[in-house]
Structure 1
């Protein structure tokens, strides 16, 4: 768990707020950090925000110590150059439109207000505040708006905590509490657990990558190893700094909060599974196709089809033959994957799929009764399953209007899996990363074809853990501890 330090120029600047032993002046922080090597998060509230002032030096020296600090030196530099005017000019029309709509009845100009960690007391300006905080991530951002023919951002400055009035102090304190929940949570003197792990889940997800029982078994394994776990949701993104690691047990996607949480957790110095690079690389079948070609990973013959090309139909049919399989880049659970048997079907499906993506992957169709799923963790095979096709269907999942059907499974010992299947799985994962993956492979005699690598593989009780049992969860916990210790 990261230690939160709040740095101020004078200790009386913190007088209106709850007392906390992590509040210190810059000299005290430098002495403290010289003796302590734990993961640290710094909120810099020094008054002197100008170049080479105490605020600037606080962030500069915090970054030199490997601490996660707000504001960053890069943020300070934005205020010391001419980026403010540039950013103000680049504010999207939708944000300016919302700004002018929110202030339609406002006559006072200029209008000055504060943004605290991305939030403002003026509810109508919530979207504007979020946008400006993303561009200028500082604890207090003082904004001046000016109206000529319409409302525009005139100036942006770093605000000072010592200049807040009582009402502003209350809002600042409440916002800081949400942003860094840890400072209000007193640590027990006899803490049982050495590590704290956040597990991201969505209770409403239709096809989650873990059953409730498997999550319970993972929690038991973690607590045996002195690791506490807490299930969190998307709304808890501001709490990530409380933890040492993040385990994403929700189906991931690049254009999704799972990716943003992975990014933020990585920036905060947490051990993360799935890490952002793995989500990015595994989440696109076009990327995997290109990656596998470069690294000579065995895979079905494939052709990339582009929306603007007129010869897609002939090129796919002539190269791959019929039937063939069409895939949108980011489909999952057999969605966005179709088999076509005729040129008429190919033409119709290409038209439909190009409405979703500018590039479609066409692959040679190979039927097998089952797909291998090889679980890989840190470059080593972890578990192996055979996933059988759904009844009277060519895929594992058969999506109907009323319900989704899936085929059966068999769980095997790694030693029972043909060596060339394991080799193909490890070869496919190597250029992606060292995270937790599920590799789908078709085996046709001595030939194997890697279909895809999943960054968020299912681990369900009675399925993936059927052979190893509780040992599977012990191995996951051990690897998380290894990753956390490497971060320290």
Structure 2
């Protein structure tokens, strides 16, 4: 590939000193020795140092950690940057996409290549490879590459993916080159012959004004509901989905339950409602990303999954915006002794991605703290320690599109300190659920829940809160994919809840929603058109919206 050969770099090429970068810029690496280049202004810091410090104002963050897989140092660098309001490259969504695509042949790799296929025509000028060669790899540093034939594609890839260091792989077949893959690149993979080029690319990027990456525009009704019948703790039971299908039929919407094998057929649906327990390295996240790429309205969206499934992000975001929470500390291997000595017992330790009371442990003394912390830190680089706040029940406020959808009280499992008690044999017990009318919910609970959910996005959230004997309300966490079941969460809201869920998808798809299927206020409805409790609930919800606006 003579037109795509690596450019010869001369030591005489001027190197712009990294010290001239903007004063709010920091570069995060896993280990200090991973950045072998000069850093006269001390802008380079380790991921551990970045986690431990939180300046008063947002910064620009370049995440160059060599490991970016789920719950790694690189993953947390981007996650915490987003939680703190720092402007970070790469964004967490980019990391998730590229890590999945780099895990080997599979849906993630194929999806990434498909999403970049529109760039393949920009490779037509490249000559065929020598005999016996069918692939070519090129390093890309901040949208620039030493491979002179790929300058345009490198710039467009960086604009699309916003990843500072990438390796582009091209494949040749049927007389043409195509993009076969893009992978994250660590600083250790930058060859020394590229040092000058790399530093100049970094300096050029550091001087430019911040721009959000441009992605494919979302656009876009049969409603697909992703469900796993084998899930022992599904967010919605099969009977609930059947009820939802009947409500949908009344609104002119076909509700079709699908499974993970329907991934390739997602394009034939007009909306996607994920009713499986979500996670990032999981097919539910791939479904969300695929729906967004297709322009299909999706709940839960990928950003909500990324944010809500990690309690470290939640803790940083809620604290950074003044939302009251139990006293929370981030625990790493380096800080475990310091945190342990400052805790009051009993205390609670949490792994960041636990769900349904899993990965959450109560420790009664310092010995138990060290034992449990060691176990949890083997699963994640960071865990959380929180004050233990016992109450008979947790408030759960469900919100959709920024509006209160339902309120419930989740009671602790009998003779247990959590809502769900898991047995060693895989069985589980749950505490009772009591639905509460919005009109009967303390305004402080509704206001705190609305404020917390607003920080996560505009999707479907279940905010868990405790009201302490003092009357203070604290947010425990914000869940994407909250439970919604007939006879439980909907007992107070009634049919209006399901019409609003379906109406949310119709509105997001640009369809005119059926009457009664959108979030309405009491003033929108004639007197007597709804039962008095539902009319009062709508009036209270409108008052809460005005109070927290």
TM-score (norm: length of structure 2): 0.56
Identify the match of residue 77 of structure 1 among 122, 126, 137. 122
User: Paired residue for 1:407?
Assistant: 431
Note the alpha carbon deviations across 1:83-119, whole angstroms, 9 max, x for none. Answer: 999974489xxxxxxxxxxxxxxxxxxxxxxxxxxxx
SS at match of 2:510: helix
Closer/same/farther in 2, CA of residues 70 and 344 from structure 1, 3 Å limit? closer
Alpha-carbon distance between aligned partners in 1 of 2:509 and 2:376, rounded to the nearest angstrom: 42
Q: What's the CA shift for 1:237?
A: 1.2
Asked if the contact 1:217–1:470 (Cα under 8 Å) also holds between the matched residues in 2, the reply is no
Q: How far apart, CA to CA, are the structure 2 residues paired with 1:233 and 1:480?
A: 19
Counterpart pick for 2:290 among 227, 245, 264: 264
CA contact (8 A) 1:303 1:316 kept: no
Shift of 1:70: 7.1
Q: Distance in 2 between matches of 1:75 and 1:82?
A: 14
Question: 1:77, CA displacement in angstroms?
Answer: 2.9
Measured on the aligned residues, the alpha-carbon RMSD in Å equals: 2.9
Q: Residue in 1 aligned with 2:323?
A: 297
Question: 2:496 maps to which residue?
Answer: 471
Specify the alignment match of 2:224 in structure 1: 198
2:465 and 2:475 in contact (8 A); partners too: yes
> Residue 444 of structure 1 corresponds to which residue in structure 2?
468
Contact 1:313 1:343 in 2 (8 A): no
Match of 1:372 in 2: 395
Rg comparison, structure with higher value: 1
Q: Residues 195 and 226 of structure 1 are in contact (CA less than 8 Å); yes or no, is this contact kept in structure 2?
A: no
Moved more, 272-281 or 225-234: 225-234
- Judged with a 3 Å threshold, the aligned counterparts in structure 2 of structure 1 residues 251 and 86 are, in CA distance, closer, same or farther, namely farther
Partner of 1:316: 340
Q: Give the gaps of 5 or more residues in structure 1.
A: 1-68, 92-133, 145-154, 160-193
- Gap change, CA 1:464 and 1:143, over 3 Å in 2: same
SS of equivalent to 2:396: strand
Are 2:406 and 1:383 equivalent residues in the alignment?
Answer: yes
Q: State the 1:81 CA deviation.
A: 6.3
The answer to whether residue 357 in structure 2 is matched with residue 334 in structure 1 is: yes
Point out the structure with the larger strand share.
Answer: 1
Alignment-derived partner of residue 306 in structure 2: 280
Following superposition, the deviation at residue 80 of structure 1 comes to: 4.9
- One of 245, 250, 260 as aligned partner of 1:224: 250
> Residues 86 and 203 from structure 1, CA distance in 2 versus in 1: closer, same or farther, beyond 3 angstroms?
same
The separation in 2 between residues aligned to 1:251 and 1:83, in whole angstroms, is: 47
* Aligned counterparts of 1:262 and 1:417: Cα–Cα separation in 2: 32
Q: How many residues align?
A: 327
Q: Distance in 2 between matches of 1:416 and 1:296?
A: 26
Q: TM-score, normalised by structure 1?
A: 0.63
Measure the CA separation in 1 of the matches of 2:231 and 2:138.
37
Q: Secondary structure at the match of 1:237?
A: helix
Match of 1:157 among 177, 198, 205: 177
Name structure 2 gaps, 5 residues minimum: 1-113, 140-167, 180-219, 513-549
Give the secondary structure class of the aligned counterpart of 2:429: strand
Q: In the alignment, does 2:468 pair up with 1:423?
A: no
SS in 1 for 2:482: coil
User: What is the DSSP-based 3-state SS (H/G/I as helix, E as strand, rest coil) of the residue aligned with 1:485?
Assistant: coil
1:462 aligns with 2:462: no
- SS of 1:259 mapped into structure 2: helix
Closer/same/farther in 2, CA of residues 365 and 196 from structure 1, 3 Å limit: same
Per-residue Cα deviation, 1:345-389 (whole angstroms, up to 9, x for no partner): 011101111111110111111111100010001111110110010
Cα deviations across residues 193-216 of structure 1 (Å, max 9, x unaligned)? x92111111111111110111101
Query: How many angstroms does 1:297 deviate by?
Result: 1.1
Change over 3 Å in CA distance of 1:202–1:88 after alignment to 2: farther
Corresponding residue SS for 1:332: coil
Distance in 2 separating the partners of 1:447 and 1:397: 24
TM superposition shift of 1:413: 0.2
With over 3 angstroms needed to count, the CA separation of the structure-2 counterparts of 1:418 and 1:80, relative to structure 1, is farther
Does the 8 A contact of 1:390 with 1:408 survive in 2? yes
* CA-CA distance at 1:236 after TM superposition: 1.2
Tell me the secondary structure at the aligned position of residue 445 of structure 2: helix
Within 2, Cα distance between the matches of 1:83 and 1:345?
64
Separation (CA, whole Å) in 2 of partners of 1:312 and 1:384: 37
**Residue pair 1:246, 1:265 contacting (<8 A) in 2 also:** yes
Does the Cα contact within 8 Å between 1:300 and 1:451 map onto a contact in 2? yes
Alignment CA distance shift 1:89-1:158 (3 Å): closer
1:469 deviates by: 2.3
Structure 1 residues 290 and 75, CA gap change in structure 2 (3 angstroms): farther
Partner SS, residue 379 of structure 2: coil
The residue number in structure 1 matching 2:76 is none
- Is 1:357 equivalent to 2:377 in the alignment? no
Q: Is the 8 A contact 2:229 2:238 kept in 1?
A: no
Change (3 A) 1:484 1:345: same
TM-aligned CA distance change 1:325 to 1:227, over 3 Å = same
CA distance in 2, matches of 1:437, 1:471: 17
